[in-house]
Amino acid sequence: MKLFSIRGGIHPDYRKERTSEKAIVSFPLPATLYIPLQQHIGAPAEVVVKEGDQVKKGQMLAKGQGAVSAPQHAPTSGRIAAIAEITAPHPSGLPQLTVVLESDGKDEWVGDLPQPIADPFAASPDEIRARVAWAGIVGMGGAAFPTPVKLNLGTQLKIHTLLLNGAECEPYLTCDDRLMREHAAEIIDGARIMAHTLGAGRVVIAIEDNKPEAKKIMTEAASGHAGVEVIGVPVQYPMGSERHLTQAITGLETPARKLTADLGVVVQNVATARAVHHAVRHGRPLIGRVVTVSGGALPEPKNIDVLIGTKLSDLVAFCGGLTKPAKRFVNGGPMMGQPLPGLDVPVVKGMSGILALTAEEVNERPASPCIRCGTCVTICPCGLVPVEMAAVIRKDHLDQAAHLGVMDCVSCGSCSYICPSHIPLVHYFNFAKGMLNAQDREKRRLDRVKNLAEARNARLEKAAAAKKAAAAAAAAAKAKAAAEAEAASPPPADNRPGA
């Protein structure tokens, strides 16, 4: 199949060989699990159990709130030890409300799991979506956007292609690679179910060419299904970016401020597809995932099948512990992952990688002056001019940065990675985006307050006018009656209050 080229991009040192040939291993049942109520974009889940409750595996602990949210389920059976503020896997290191589950070691499933949907292709999209929503499935590639919301796009837009993202363009990460090699049939089934839900006739599974084994196995697994293709895409970071992958496969360029769905393409991660398969075919909620635990500070990096809520420190110990000093802990891949202040945080649904990187791997240096080499301009996959944006952000000219397109930046990090002066370009852009979003929120809030105030004033004025009109009418009627009564006395002065 003809592929379309994408602009720019880089070829980082991938370092995938550390884990790519190691089969996924299961992590033994932990004694305690920590399930944060917000593991997704949107509103946090609302807890439905209380301290001291005995719960079974798969039982709902917290239900989704509002349109964009996701429920959380018990990853194993045991007792709710606490519902408390626990440090979240977030750069801030701030706590968030978390259900603490003490395992009873029995790992017993709850009795009232929903029945498997026998023939999902005969089921209505609404039924599938309801099931996916119940299962608490979110995008497992890292963004953690609630999947049912994305599966709903087919009701508003005509979706022709489900693009299954197996590019895994981040260095170090191999969990999707291993999943495709070890669970190809489940992934393809999940993808077909999602395509059915979206009304998409075509499923394209895109795999970067540095995963030939996964590509081969997936191609074989897909061969029996009409409308399912496996396509190798060039090794070019950030190929796994939703918009860029869509462009590479379909040639369609997603307009700024629009979604790929506006072009008829919905992109889902391979691990998400497998979770959908489990929810639909087996009635299982999302309570675990495969995560790559790697980095130079670990002697035995692994791909681990782990329950949501397992502490990262336990996983790191499982990989031999930190035998070298770690300079950075990362949630996700090294390019777009989030830094973590420590390992005393739990695994969440969107966590594809846990990296303990040495100073040598991170290769941080103090920034030196920009020599205007223009490499950032050449490699920017979004066609922006990073050097110029960073310069205006340094001077706090955020409006100019917005004009130069900083909101179009996907934060892929290519510019920072390549900069010979080690200028943390994408850090500037993340800062500017945060500030601009905050300004935008504040402006919208003020607008809302202003609108409310104006509406209130209008209402009050209207009421006052109505009252005045009624009073005038009454006075007129009275005057008329008085006149009609042929009273001799003249009317009182006009300036009477209430006239």
Partner 1 sequence: MSVTIEKSGPFGHAPSSVSKTMITVLVALLPATLFNVWLFGWPALFMFLITVGACLGFEAICLAWQNRPVKATLFDGSAALTGWLLAMSLPPWTPWWIGVLGALLAIVLAKHIYGGLGQNVFNPAMVGRVGLLVSFPVQMTAFVPPKPLFSEGAPGFIDSLGMVFGGFKNMDAISAASALGHVKTELTKGVPVTESLPQVFDLTNMITGMHIGSFGETSAILILLGGLFLMVRGVISWHTPVGLMGTLFVCASIANFFAPERFPGGVFHLFAGATFLGAFFIATDYVTSPVSKMGQLAYGMGCGFLIWIIRSFAGYPEGVAFAVLLMNALTPVIDHHIRPRAFGRTSKGEPLSVRGDSK
Site for partner 1 in 378-437 (CB under 8 A): 378, 380-385, 387-388, 405, 408, 411, 413, 416-422, 424, 426-427, 430
Nearest distance from residue 71's CB to partner 1, in Å?
30
Closest CA to 303 of 351, 264, 266: 351
Q: Cα torsion at 295, 166, 264, 219 (round to 10°)?
A: 180
Query: What is the C-alpha separation between 424 and 242, in angstroms, rounded?
Result: 24
For partner 1, the closer CB: 29 or 157: 157
Applying CB under 8 A, the span of 4-12, 21-29, 127-135, 142-150 interacting with partner 1 comes to: 4-12
| Least distance CB 393 / partner 1 (angstroms) | 14
The rounded radius of gyration (Å) of the Cα atoms in the chain is 29
Q: Minimum distance from CB of 236 to partner 1 (Å)?
A: 14
Span 162-191, contacts to partner 1 by CB under 8 A: 171
The residue from 342, 443, 454, 462 that contacts partner 1 (CB under 8 A) is 342
Residues linked to residue 100 through DSSP beta bridges, in sequence order: 34, 82
* CA angle in degrees (0–180, nearest 5) for 293-333-419: 135
With respect to partner 1, which residue has the nearer C-beta, 230 or 409?
Answer: 409
Q: In this complex, which beta carbon is closest to partner 1, that of residue 74 or of residue 355? A: 355
Determine the interface stretch with partner 1 among 63-71, 204-212, 282-290, 329-337 (rule: CB under 8 A): 329-337
When the beta carbons of 184 and 418 are compared against partner 1, the nearer one is: 418
- Cα–Cα distances (Å) from 137 to 69, 90, 143, 434, in that order, read 10, 20, 12, 27
Given candidates 326, 389, 401, 432, which one binds partner 1 under the rule CB under 8 A? Answer: 326
Mutual orientation of helices 125-134 and 184-198 as an angle, nearest 10°?
Answer: 130
Q: What is the DSSP letter of 136?
A: T
Q: How far is the CB of 405 from partner 1 (least distance, A)?
A: 5
* Cis, bond preceding 148 (omega within 30 deg of 0): no
Query: H helices within 395-496, ranges in order?
Result: 398-403, 414-418, 425-484
Buried b (16+ CB within 10 A) or exposed e, 306-321: bbbbbbbebbbebbee
- Residue of 64, 78, 240, 334 that binds partner 1 (CB under 8 A): 334
Which residue bears the tokens 């009232």?
Answer: 112
Q: Which helix (H) or strand (E) holds 35?
A: strand 32-36
Q: Does 5 bind partner 1 (CB under 8 A)?
A: no
* Nearest distance, CB of residue 281 and partner 1, angstroms: 31
What's the min distance (Å) between Cβ of 304 and partner 1?
19
**Long-range pairs for 12-16 at CB < 8 Å and ≥24 separation?**
12/171, 12/237, 12/334, 12/335, 12/417, 13/171, 14/171, 14/172, 14/210, 14/235, 15/171, 15/172, 15/294, 15/361, 16/171, 16/172, 16/173, 16/174, 16/177, 16/210
Of 10-18, 27-35, 56-64, 184-192, the window that binds partner 1 (rule: CB under 8 A) is 10-18
- Total site size for partner 1, rule CB under 8 A: 74
Report 235-274 residues binding partner 1 (CB under 8 A).
Answer: 243-244, 252-258, 262-264
Instruction: Name which of 89 and 136 has its Cβ closer to partner 1.
Output: 89
State the DSSP code for 206.
Answer: E
Distance CA 461, CA 463 (A): 5
Shortest Cβ 5–partner 1 spacing (Å): 13
Site for partner 1 in 128-167 (CB under 8 A): 158
CB of 299 to partner 1, least distance (A): 15
11-50: contacts with partner 1 (CB under 8 A)? 12-13
Distance, in Å, from the CA atom of 45 to the CA atom of 64, rounded to the nearest integer, reads 5
352-381 footprint of partner 1 as x/- string (CB under 8 A): ---x-x---xxxxx--xxxxxxxx-xx-xx
CA distance 421 to 412: 18
Binding mask 431-470 for partner 1 (x = CB under 8 A): ----------------------------------------
Region 82-111 residues binding partner 1, contact defined as CB under 8 A: 91
Q: At its nearest, how many Å lie between partner 1 and the CB of residue 234?
A: 17
Closest separation between CB of residue 371 and partner 1, Å? 5
